[in-house]
Structure formats: C-alpha cells, structure tokens
C-alpha cells in the first residue's frame, strides 16, 4: 500500500508539472488586423465625476449638483434639469451668457463633454 501511495503521488505531481509547463508556454500575440495595421487602443477617460471637479463645475453647481447661491454666483440645480444629455453637452460647450454659465468649447474635448453630460443626467439626477 505504501508503494502504491508513493507511485500515485509521483504520477499526480508529474501531471501537475506537465499542466504547469503547458500554461507557461508563451502564447502568440496578434497585434495586427486583417489589413496588417495595428489596432487602435482606446484608453477610457476619467469618469464624469472627475471632469465635474476638474473643470470647476462644483464651484457653481456644488458637489452634488444642487446649485444655488454660492461663491460662483447662482448655479442651476442640475439634479432636476429638463435638458437632454445632448443639450447639457451643448450648454457646457457654448455656455449661457445671460445666466452666468461660461462656455467651455475648446477647453473640453467632445468625448469628455459626452461623459460629463451623461454624469449630470444619470449620476446627479434626483433618485
């Protein structure tokens, strides 16, 4: 029985070593597309909250989007805006001079505008 146990352990150990050796073999990586070009790598930008803070939205609209009277003037309550996400993005880009909202066109790229608008419409929205 002792010999059987020893032989079994050796065979099992050899099996694990074989599996380990197979998994350690380098796998070919393909960095080419059908046309032979390298694929475009898209790195996602920081979330909407980071943009909301980075571009100073919290100065007028507060951290939770409730707005109101503050050091930046009087910010709208973004939690209840009736604007669509696209309209929010346009408002951020073009501003609202009569209401004290500065334009951010040229300061914020289109992708970040979309992320910021979606953050305002989804995350800041009153539940």
Q: Report the candidate in 100, 104, 126 with the shortest Cα–Cα distance to residue 51.
A: 104
3-state secondary structure of 126: coil
**How does pLDDT run across 20-70, given as a tens digit for each residue?**
444 455 444 444 555 666 665 544 456 889 999 999 999 889 899 998 887
- The CATH number of residue 62's host domain is 1.10.760.10
42 in a domain, yes or no?
A: no
Residue 103 CA to residue 120 CA, distance in Å, equals 17
Determine, yes or no, domain membership for 21: no
* pLDDT interval class at 74 (50, 70, 90): confident
Structural domain for 98, as ranges? 48-123
Inside any domain, residue 70? yes
| Domain contains 14 | no
pTM: 0.61
86-96: pLDDT as tens digits: 999 999 999 99
Counting the structural domains of the chain, the total is: 1
């Amino acid at each position: 029985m002792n010999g059987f146990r020893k032989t079994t352990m050796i065979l099992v150990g050899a099996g694990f070593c074989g599996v380990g050796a197979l998994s350690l073999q380098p796998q070919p990586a393909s960095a080419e597309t059908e046309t032979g070009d390298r694929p475009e790598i898209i790195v996602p930008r920081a979330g909407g909250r980071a943009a909301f803070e980075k571009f100073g939205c919290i100065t007028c609209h507060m951290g939770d989007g409730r707005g109101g009277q503050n050091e930046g003037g009087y910010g709208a309550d973004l939690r209840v805006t009736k604007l669509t996400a696209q309209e929010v993005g346009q408002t951020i880009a073009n501003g609202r001079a009569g209401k004290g909202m500065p334009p951010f066109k040229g300061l914020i790229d289109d992708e970040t505008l979309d992320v910021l608008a979606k953050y305002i419409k989804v995350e800041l929205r009153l539940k």
